Structure 1
Amino acid sequence: MTKPRYAALARWLGGVVVHAALVLALVTVGVFLIVRLVPGDPAQMVLGLKASPAQIADMRHRLGIDQPIGRQFTSFVTTLLTTGDTGESIAYHVSSRALVLDRLPVSLWLVGCSAALVVAISLPLAMTAALHRGSWIDQLVRIVPTVTLGMPEFWVGLVLVLVLAVTLRIFPVGGTQPGIDGMLYSMALPSLTIALAQTPFIVRSLRTRILEVLGADFVTTLRAAGLSRRAIRRHVMRNALLPALQLYGMKVSFLIGGTLVVEQVFGLRGVGTLLFAAITARDFPLIQAVAMYCAIGVVLVSTLVRVAGGLIDYRVREGRGGEE
């Protein structure tokens, strides 16, 4: 790679980093305003109608809303940057950051297993449908995955629990088990629940792209050169994966939000169940912490996917989205 290309790549990467930083800055402002935009007095909401003025004043001080708005924001950002914390949890009386980090591994397991399942299901289905275009196999692949699109994730999860856990006793009803094997076993049904909701989009996008690549001139040249079907498929997948990768990155971002509900269904002690507990207790510092860390995860995944797409295809760096 020549020096001008290195310079162009460095400028593009710098732009990606600046964009991610700006998004995180806007997210920080939004998280800061969660408490301030709540109708009524947040301290009154936490303590209830029977709280005394002294108790309300003390709670306003704990929430940091008894100071001028400028000083509140400066203190919030300073604390966030230096400690990664949004304040002490009202319900648990410990650092909100510590609570989130304690529950984070379970949520990361769930997101990772779900993302892996999406790939394992989508790639074979999309390739099979594209290679049998117009056949009953193609129609089956296109129709069956879309069945789950109109179903809420919590309902799909309950059905899987009733069938595979309660009736057939193949998987546990909920919770987690120790060890890597135990964690993978525990994540099977929750991950499948999330993957079933995201797979149809990936299958449809990847199938369309594979069909476009199969009709390209270079595929005809490869066939004329006598390459095996397996080698041709490898070239086709390589050229078709970029748009699917970009969509996959978006769906992984949605997975982070989707885990919040699924954790409740399967009784997983992750960030999702922590968020629901915080909302029930009106624990605003903890709600802010969960929102902030989830946003960081979404921005990080989106940025990594964008960088990967740009490194794979220079046209993405030039704003052409990988299309000629």
Structure 2
Amino acid sequence: MSTTVLAFALRRTGATLLLLLALSLLVFGLLYLAPGDIARNLLGTRNVTPEALAQVRALHHLDEPFLQQYWRWLSRAAAGDFGTSIRTGGPIGPTMLDRTGVTAATAGLAFLLSVLSGVPAGIASAMRRGRWPDRFLVGLSVVGVSAPGFAVGLLALYVFALGLGWFPLYGTGTGFLDGLWHLVLPAAALALGLGAFVVKLTRAAVIRELDQDYVTFARGRGLSERTVLRVVLRNAAIPIVTSLGLMVAYLFGGTVLIEVTFALPGLGSLMEESVLFKDIPVVQALTLVVAAVVSAAALLVDLSYLLIDPRVRARTARR
């Protein structure tokens, strides 16, 4: 069975690598989908001579065939060299690396808050289905899912930072504890929508398992509710883990607005600045990195099924 499981993991890894290859080709092709001459777009609206255009094409290897340019860009990106920023003139890799810490800390804290609040709330809502705690939690989750992240961030800034003065208005602070305190409010604003999403999915997964016949049989045999709940949660773990993996994509999308709202110097604000200044190489690099992170999260979710549910291992072994 171990050989079969290893083959399953290798197939999933290979499929992920092929997906990343296709995404990298699409990301690189975005430069060529932009209207007009690429070299002229890189130079902006200034008046340029044909000699200047030729120099830009030679500098960025735009005079080479498309596939040759793509392979040059992909091979360098795989080695951590994403090229040079048009806006700053500096290398893109170190700039992204300097900002990764803020984004990772904000997203990680938001993920932790949403899981610690959403999963227990979803289980409690499912166990009290139809009663007032269930209706209350479902109502809160609907509000949380519907509320835009930037609006929640602005409201949190106005109430807790500007009004009550409990949290700082902007920045990352100095030192570990001060930096963590600066990230609590933006992480909580980001976790509101995520936690509501987790509540709804956890509730649906647990209710689906509670309606199964084996739960009725277990209760009929006199098993305690704690034992029944343990079995239910184990069987409901796959959709819950899947939802947590999908949250990674939501995290990167929501982090852009949260970082701009709270003036955090992370990858989200870098993406916003690069789009505004039409810094296409930086946008390409960020898009590729985000795609790689989301694909890696999806791969880990697939592989976690083998550890969580023995039924998946058994089906995999029979193939």
TM-score (norm 2): 0.91
How far off is 1:67 after superposition? 1.6
How far off is 1:195 after superposition? 1.5
Q: Once the two structures are superposed, what CA deviation does each residue of 1:277-308 show, in whole Å capped at 9, x if it has no partner? A: 21222222111111111111111111111111
How far off is 1:215 after superposition? 3.5
1:103 to 92, 99, 123: 99
Query: For residues 226 and 178 of structure 1, do their structure 2 counterparts lie closer, same or farther at Cα, with a shift above 3 Å needed?
Result: farther
Greater shift in the superposed pair: 305-314 or 94-103:
305-314
Q: Is 1:68 aligned to residue 65 of structure 2? A: yes
Greater shift in the superposed pair: 309-318 or 130-139:
309-318
1:306 to 302, 306, 311: 302
1:151 to 144, 147, 151: 147
Asked whether the 8 Å contact 1:256–1:297 carries over to 2, the reply is no
Q: Is 1:293 aligned to residue 289 of structure 2? A: yes
Aligned length: 315
Query: For residues 305 and 283 of structure 1, do their structure 2 counterparts lie closer, same or farther at Cα, with a shift above 3 Å needed?
Result: same
Asked whether the 8 Å contact 1:174–1:266 carries over to 2, the reply is yes
Asked whether the 8 Å contact 2:12–2:299 carries over to 1, the reply is yes
Greater shift in the superposed pair: 32-41 or 53-62:
53-62
Q: Is 1:89 aligned to residue 78 of structure 2? A: no
CA distance in 2: counterparts of 1:290 and 1:58, whole angstroms: 26
2:247 to 242, 251, 258: 251
How far off is 1:228 after superposition? 4.7
Unaligned runs of 5+ in 1: none
Q: Which residue of 2 aligns with 1:52?
A: 49
Asked whether the 8 Å contact 1:309–1:316 carries over to 2, the reply is yes
CA distance in 1: counterparts of 2:238 and 2:183, whole angstroms: 28
CA distance in 2: counterparts of 1:70 and 1:202, whole angstroms: 42
How far off is 1:161 after superposition? 0.8
2:76 to 66, 72, 79: 79
1:282 to 278, 285, 294: 278
Question: 1:183-262 maps to which residues of 2 (within 5 A)?
Answer: 183-220=179-216, 222-223=218-219, 228-262=224-258
Asked whether the 8 Å contact 2:16–2:295 carries over to 1, the reply is yes
1:24 to 11, 14, 20: 20
Query: Match of 2:138, as an amino acid?
Result: R
Q: Is 1:6 aligned to residue 2 of structure 2? A: yes
CA distance in 2: counterparts of 1:221 and 1:174, whole angstroms: 56
CA distance in 2: counterparts of 1:316 and 1:26, whole angstroms: 28
CA distance in 1: counterparts of 2:159 and 2:315, whole angstroms: 47
Asked whether the 8 Å contact 1:12–1:317 carries over to 2, the reply is no
Unaligned runs of 5+ in 2: none
Query: For residues 98 and 317 of structure 1, do their structure 2 counterparts lie closer, same or farther at Cα, with a shift above 3 Å needed?
Result: farther
CA distance in 2: counterparts of 1:60 and 1:164, whole angstroms: 51
How far off is 1:119 after superposition? 0.5
Query: Match of 2:178, as an amino acid?
Result: G
- Give the CA RMSD over aligned residues: 2.1
CA distance in 1: counterparts of 2:299 and 2:230, whole angstroms: 27
How far off is 1:229 after superposition? 3.9
Query: For residues 236 and 230 of structure 1, do their structure 2 counterparts lie closer, same or farther at Cα, with a shift above 3 Å needed?
Result: same
Query: For residues 240 and 165 of structure 1, do their structure 2 counterparts lie closer, same or farther at Cα, with a shift above 3 Å needed?
Result: same
Q: Which residue of 2 aligns with 1:115?
A: 111
How far off is 1:151 after superposition? 2.8
Greater shift in the superposed pair: 226-235 or 42-51:
226-235
Query: Match of 1:77, as an amino acid?
Result: L
CA distance in 2: counterparts of 1:102 and 1:86, whole angstroms: 14
Query: Match of 1:295, as an amino acid?
Result: A
Asked whether the 8 Å contact 2:305–2:312 carries over to 1, the reply is yes
Asked whether the 8 Å contact 1:110–1:190 carries over to 2, the reply is yes
